[in-house]
Amino acid sequence: MNMKRSLSTILAVLLAAPFVRAAEKPNILFIFSDDHAQHAISAYGSKVNKTPNIDRLAQGGARFVNSFVVNSICTPSRATLITGMYSHLNGVPVFNRFDGARDHVAKRLQAGGYHTGVIGKWHLGSDPTGFDRWIVLPGQGSYWNPTFLVPGRKLTIEGHCTEITADLGIEWLETRPRDQPFFLMLHQKAPHRDWEPDKRNQALFKDRVIPEPETLWDDYKTRPAGLPANRQTVAKDLTRRDLKLEPPADLTGAARARWLNVKPMELEIAAPDGSKKTLTGKELIKWKYQRYMQDYLACVQGVDDSVGKILDHLDRTGTAKNTVVFYSADNGWYLGDLGLYDKRFMYEPGLRIPLLARGPGVKVAIAPDRFVANIDLAPTFLDLAGLPIPDSMQGRSLVPLLRGESPSDWRTSIYYRYYHDPGDHDTAAHLGVRTATHKLIYYWKKNAYELFDLVGDPNERHNLLFDPAEAKRPEVAKVFGELKAEIARLKRQYKDDGQYADSADWPAGSSDGPFNDKRPIGVKTVAEAIRAASSQ
């Protein structure tokens, strides 16, 4: 009799288990910023700013130490994020339109019972699919009084885009269905160029002196393949618009735009005593660096403020108890490192991205050091939801790492490939592999390699293959051969047969323009925008 009771009890528990798990499915909130350098977060040891709210995620959860992007550029990164696939398989190697008919993580979560939403910068050139509600910027969007797209119309909301995006996120959370778990992608435009911060944070950084990176004056001596020809340097490529210089009052239209797009090599500024001072050479470069970083970091501070606002809302409403919150960025970014701004190059500042998470099932205050990449995010979201991960996704769920585990079969290298050549900033096309100790970069159009010892040369200033005599040293030749073999292995693993290696083969369409210029436009409040997004 007791045995029967025991068996019936076990059977009841087993039958009920799926329903219990379904009821306890966690909410997933993914906060994403644009061009946020990992080393502009204090939890990652920033020397230039403090980010107390993003740091809350590290203190209460996981801070991934070795988190990378597989193609460091906006639109391809976003396609990889939702598909879990490399650019050559998801069809977005450059700034081309994403095919919304493709399978992706939001569609699977929606089909699995999640209420899904995306708010903010989308930048995939097609209307979002797989989302119950969406409110997105057309193309890059604007910092001030931004226009958003919702199904069938455009809506302009007055204010600063970073603050508006956070407010839209909170309104979405407050108006979501309470009988479903949610998946919300909250995407900030900031700190993308043109670096236009809100007034409060602009004032906070206006007179701040930012420490210069030790590689600001890099001469690229041992890396002739890509760096000398690039056009994303602090010294030569910041425009009058970037530096927030005021054009003459009588300039309008195209003439004003041309004036703003000039890259000044001589500049007259007001000295502290009220006199005029002309800056050239190294003195001008130092001034440009400070102006660039003051605006960039003020934009980052706005993002950090918005993260704090969202986390406070989750805590205040009790939603945090069942919500896994992620913070990441679409690519790395150069803070004057190697004399650069922007992303694209596979050197460490462009390759590394922040990735932090906290919530139910995430061990507190851990720093997983396994190699992870943005191909892993979509599988992770599905795993958290208890949904199957399709074979098409090339990443791996991070859930074991979030629990504090360290699987012995985890990857030990990262494969990278950048295609946009010819393209913005004259960044040469390249691919490569990064291991725990070394990095090999191959500029395939130039048949040129760069090899770095990341332990002895973490700033990647000394290409071991530059000097033919050094390249022939047995230890260098051995590593070179091993890494070339590793690239070949990873190409096979990720099914990279050289698709899109030639610009003639790039897919058509653009991710930058508005999706439909004929959409009617109106001025709405945040609450009205949310209602408009729900009226599909």
pLDDT digits (tens, 9 = 90+) for 238-247: 999 999 999 9
Q: Which residues pair with 280 in a beta bridge?
A: 266
Laid out side by side, the sheet with 521-523 consists of 62-63, 355-358, 323-329, 27-33, 182-187, 115-121, 133-137, 147-150, 153-156, 521-523
309 backbone φψ class: left, alpha, beta (φ>0; ψ -120 to 50): alpha
The 8-class DSSP code of residue 179 comes to: T
**CA max distance for the chain:** 99
pLDDT confidence of residue 147: 95
pLDDT at 172 over 50: yes
Count of residues making up the chain: 536
pLDDT confidence of residue 534: 84
3-state secondary structure of 531: helix
pLDDT confidence of residue 521: 83
pLDDT confidence of residue 268: 92
pLDDT digits (tens, 9 = 90+) for 106-162: 999 999 999 999 999 999 999 999 999 999 999 999 999 999 999 989 999 999 999
DSSP string, 383-419: HHTT-PPPTT--S---HHHHTT---TT----EEEEE-
Mean pLDDT score across all residues of the chain:
94
Q: pLDDT above 90 covers what percent of the chain?
A: 90
Domains of the chain from N-terminus onward: 212-286 (no CATH), 424-505 (3.30.1120.10)
3-state helix, strand, coil in the chain (%, to 5): 35, 15, 50
pLDDT at 518 over 90: no
pLDDT at 517 over 90: no
3-state secondary structure of 134: strand
Q: Per-residue confidence at 520, pLDDT binned at 50, 70, 90?
A: confident
The answer to whether the CB of 499 falls within 8 A of the CB of 505 is: yes
Alpha-carbon distance of 320 to 27, in angstroms, equals 9
Mean pLDDT of 84-91: 98
pLDDT digits (tens, 9 = 90+) for 5-29: 344 443 343 333 333 344 589 999 9
65 token code pair? 């130490």
Mean pLDDT of 375-404: 98
Q: What global pTM score does this model have?
A: 0.94
pLDDT at 325 over 90: yes
Mean pLDDT of 59-88: 98
pLDDT digits (tens, 9 = 90+) for 252-261: 999 999 999 9
pLDDT at 314 over 50: yes
Mean pLDDT of 406-432: 97
Residue owning tokens 């399978």: 103
Q: Per-residue confidence at 535, pLDDT binned at 50, 70, 90?
A: low
